[in-house]
Structure 1
Amino acid sequence: MKPKYILENYDRILKEIKNPKIIFSNDLTPFVENFTSESFLISQVDFIKQNGKTKYIIKKPIHNLHPKVTKLNFKESEIVEEFEPFIPQILDELNIPENQSSLRWCTKNENTLYVLQECEIEDLLQEKRFFLYCYHSLKNENSKIKKINKERVFKFKIKERIEQYIHRKQYALENLAHRLIKEINPKNSSDLYQFSNNYDKIDCLKITYIYLEKLLRFIEKEYRNYLNVNIQIPYRSTLVKDFEITNKLKKVKSRLLESNINDQLLKLAYEPLLKIATINIQEKLTYYEFNYCSEFIIALYKQIHFENISEEIIKECLFDLNFNSTQFFDNLTDGILMELSVQENNIQKIDILYRLLKNYNQKQTRTFIKYNENLPSIKEQIISWIEEEIEYLSKKMKLDANQFTNVCTNEAKIKFLTGLSVAQLSYFFALLIETGVIKHKNQADIFRFISENFKTANTDKISTDSIKSKYYNIETSTKNVIREKIIELLGLTKF
């Protein structure tokens, strides 16, 4: 049986948000009433003391079912004496009879007063009721989804099945979250979590996004070991983690800027810091990237001895943290090439490269996570590069040695001057082969032997191609000359 789409009710609510006419007014009140036994409006009053005077600001009232109410902390207590004269005026501005109001004071700020006024849900504007409907529908839906997910995951016995299931849910949630952000088009990250007093379509989309993000956070916490780390991390998750590393981030940035390291290295060390420092809702930052950058900041904070920051220490830290960017690789290899350039010969260069190879092989890095997951670790990159350099220089030395040997050989080579032409010489060797005087079967070797060991009156260099051509194309005049030479040789054999 195909599992039900996890966000089916989210899609339904989004359709209602985009076309609120499909929800009738009398449908909303009973639904909303199910979530509370009492109904009242809350008006926040902030008292401000300045230059010996006190004034106050009254904020727009919100219903006790509004999502912001969960963050309010108030208690019933006696009226603060210095603010008591303002109460009648405040109630008058709010148009609330004194006998129909309740006063509560903020538990965290004694200068904040909350005025509670009973009301009927059906008396609320349609937009407010619809917003509350969306909020509590989503809140209720999230509880159901969490329960269903836990039950389904519990039934899976194989890790791969759990991963597949969690990855599918992540994709569904991320895709819808991305769509919502595009529709909301927030000015900045904080705007996404702020509601207007209009309770309009955008406010409803915002509350939908917030609860969608809560689901992502739930999956992140409950199934951390099964997450697809290439999925975009919820912005709320980055805020929570960012709170933990903010001070460390500031100190690392400050100390790096105060150091005397060169601009190129500073830019490299700053790269992961900026990813965290400039994070916003529009940019896609994956779990993998965020986790690496967070660990990078914490580890760099621990490893750097701030009283003495040198370029070598920074490089060691970046290497240890497996900062495998191509720019850092270039920085390391440029340093090695600079060291090699001052050596007198390739033997010295190879000696240095072998020493570096040993050192890098013995170095430890955080191989479990790297800056760029699509590239090899920085250790693998450097070792591979050094090995290639050693191989190149070794081959170059061997080639140079062979060329030197060949030059020496060529300079010492003595060729026999023959009175025969190339054609005649070729034919003469052909006769030697036919008569069995020369028993070598590879004719190419014979052509090469003639080329390397004989010269004529007309040329010092006889090409093998020329010999081969004359060998197979014998002219009559050539045969006549050789016949006469053979007769001459026979005459020399007489006693």
Structure 2
Amino acid sequence: MRLPTELLASTSEKKLELNIQQLQSILISYADMIVAHHNLFTKSYTENLQLEEVYKSTLSNIEHILSFIEKQYKQYFNLNQKVPDNYLLISRSNIKASLKKLKAHFISEGLDNNFIQIILYPYLRLLNNTNVTYTYRDLIYIKKLLAYQQEILSASSQNLKDQLIESLFYFNCNSKRFYPFYVNMLSAEIEAEQSVQQKIIIISRHLKLINQFQQKPGYSFNPKAISVREQVSIWLEEELIFVEKQMKTNQLFSIPHQPTTVDDDGINVSFTVKELAMFAQLMMESGIIYNKSKIYVAQKIVAVFRTKENHIQPHSLSQKMYLKEEHTLNSIKNYLIKMINHINKIEEEE
């Protein structure tokens, strides 16, 4: 196939690009007009086989020319130009057939339904949103992603879910569905750890993995949004800052734990932590303790006293000073009554 020599005669690179893209635009417009006319007068076409044949032949020739331009002059081909309606219709049909096999394979591999919907979302969006204008760039993205994931399935990998996730990063699937799904998955893994140090290790490991993920140049589900790799990386960095601050706060208020024994350096009391906190609060409110800072008082108490619960944190103790539970108040009353009775007994002995 050869394009008219007049079209390629220009020695200017910019002029040649403009000519190619104008031809591309005209051919797409003609193709859409022919399809629209066929849809409007369907009965006339079905009753006239020769007319129907002309219709099919004309569309086929236009699509061949567009395919030729796309391959031979791809540096000039406008990927942001809309896809001809008929070509999009055929592409949807092919993708739908492939999608059915893809979903069946995912189910047979035991992937959960929520994850399957995340994987299928880019394809379903193309199939279901029939009123949206799709460009060559959109269609190429979907076809390349589909081919890549089909290749993953054919390899029968043991780490199918991980490879599918990596494929979404590779093709920058920055949809509003994949990002929250992946972040929630990371968050669940981080929150499952009790140790702050272990949380930092997990976040750092994922941050390293995310930054090492490759991304295919020029491919993006949403070209106007930042890449999903960048979004997740920002989230992990913010999470790391938060957890590190949490660790510093814990270190600031924590006192090394020593097992409580009779011979312990601390003073052993029969109070619970809540009772000790309430007793300290009452002494502060009644003016027995002059210090105004609850956290300061809590730090000093924790450094000396050992309760029934054995392990006390200053921050926890200071927070419990605000609690005024009836059960705790009654316990404190009983202790005070016991002390008063003991004072009365001493007075009687004198």
TM (normalized to structure 2)? 0.57
Aligned match for 2:177, one of 327, 334, 337: 327
The 8 Å contact of residues 156 and 162 in structure 1, kept in 2 or not, is answered as: yes
Distance 1:165 1:358, change over 3 A: same
Structure 1 position 289 matched with structure 2 position 110: no
* Stretches of structure 2 lacking an aligned partner (at least 5 in a row): 255-291, 299-350
Partner of 2:198: 348
Aligned match for 1:196, one of 43, 46, 56: 46
Aligned match for 2:22, one of 168, 182, 190: 168
1:46-445, aligned counterparts within 5 Å?
Answer: 146-147=3-4, 150-158=5-13, 160-185=14-39, 195-198=45-48, 213=63, 215-234=65-84, 251-274=101-124, 278=127, 284-304=133-153, 305-306=155-156, 308=158, 310-395=160-245
Distance 2:124 2:70 in 1: 24
Distance 1:211 1:255 in 2: 37
Distance 1:233 1:265, change over 3 A: same
Instruction: Letter of the 2:169 partner, please give it.
Output: F
Residue 244 of structure 1, CA deviation: 9.2
SS at 1:264 equivalent: helix
Residue 172 of structure 1, CA deviation: 3.8
1:33-56 alpha-carbon deviations (Å, 9 max, x no partner): xxxxxxxxxxxxxxxxxxxxxxxx
1:382-402 alpha-carbon deviations (Å, 9 max, x no partner): 212211222344455567878
The 8 Å contact of residues 145 and 171 in structure 2, kept in 1 or not, is answered as: yes
Decide which moves more: 306-315 or 265-274. 306-315
Distance 2:295 2:146 in 1: 63
The 8 Å contact of residues 248 and 298 in structure 1, kept in 2 or not, is answered as: no
1:238-287 alpha-carbon deviations (Å, 9 max, x no partner): 688789989866653431232211111111222344467x4999764321
Count of aligned positions = 260
Distance 1:209 1:323 in 2: 33
- Could you tell me the percent identity over the aligned residues? 24
Distance 1:301 1:349 in 2: 35
Distance 2:236 2:207 in 1: 6
Distance 1:247 1:199 in 2: 29
- Please identify which structure carries the higher strand content: 1
Instruction: Tell me which of the two structures has the higher relative contact order, counting C-alpha pairs closer than 8 angstroms and 6 or more residues apart.
Output: 2
* Stretches of structure 1 lacking an aligned partner (at least 5 in a row): 1-141, 413-495
Distance 2:113 2:50 in 1: 50
Distance 1:255 1:199 in 2: 41
Distance 2:129 2:53 in 1: 20
Distance 1:380 1:164, change over 3 A: farther
The 8 Å contact of residues 260 and 310 in structure 1, kept in 2 or not, is answered as: no
Residue 227 of structure 1, CA deviation: 1.5
The 8 Å contact of residues 367 and 377 in structure 1, kept in 2 or not, is answered as: no
Distance 2:77 2:128 in 1: 21
The 8 Å contact of residues 255 and 306 in structure 1, kept in 2 or not, is answered as: no
- Please identify which structure carries the higher helix content: 2
Distance 1:183 1:282 in 2: 18
Instruction: Letter of the 2:240 partner, please give it.
Output: I
The 8 Å contact of residues 45 and 51 in structure 2, kept in 1 or not, is answered as: no
1:344-401 alpha-carbon deviations (Å, 9 max, x no partner): 2544323321121112222323244233322333322221221122234445556787
The 8 Å contact of residues 31 and 84 in structure 2, kept in 1 or not, is answered as: no
The 8 Å contact of residues 174 and 227 in structure 2, kept in 1 or not, is answered as: yes
Superposed CA RMSD in Å reads 4.6
The 8 Å contact of residues 213 and 236 in structure 1, kept in 2 or not, is answered as: no
Distance 1:282 1:209, change over 3 A: farther
1:28-39, aligned counterparts within 5 Å?
Answer: none
Partner of 2:336: none
Distance 1:306 1:243, change over 3 A: farther
Distance 2:15 2:128 in 1: 33
The 8 Å contact of residues 272 and 296 in structure 1, kept in 2 or not, is answered as: no
The 8 Å contact of residues 259 and 309 in structure 1, kept in 2 or not, is answered as: no
Instruction: Letter of the 2:140 partner, please give it.
Output: N
Partner of 1:442: none
Distance 1:308 1:231 in 2: 40
